[in-house]
Amino acid sequence: MATNIAKLKSTKGAPPAAEAAPDVIAEDTRDASEPTVALQVRVPKSVFEGFSEQAGREFGFSHGAKKKFFLKIWEEYKAQNM
Interface contacts to other proteins, rule CB under 8 A: 10-16, 18, 21-26, 28, 30-31, 82
CA angle 40, 46, 50 (to 5 degrees): 80
For the bound state, the minimum distance from the C-beta of residue 6 to other proteins, rounded and expressed in Å, comes to: 12
Q: Are 72 and 66 in contact (CB under 8 A)?
A: no
Q: Which residue, 12 or 63, has its beta carbon nearer to other proteins?
A: 12
Q: Which residue, 12 or 42, has its beta carbon nearer to other proteins?
A: 12
For the bound state, the minimum distance from the C-beta of residue 64 to other proteins, rounded and expressed in Å, comes to: 22
Measured CA to CA, the distance from residue 72 to residue 33 in angstroms comes to 17
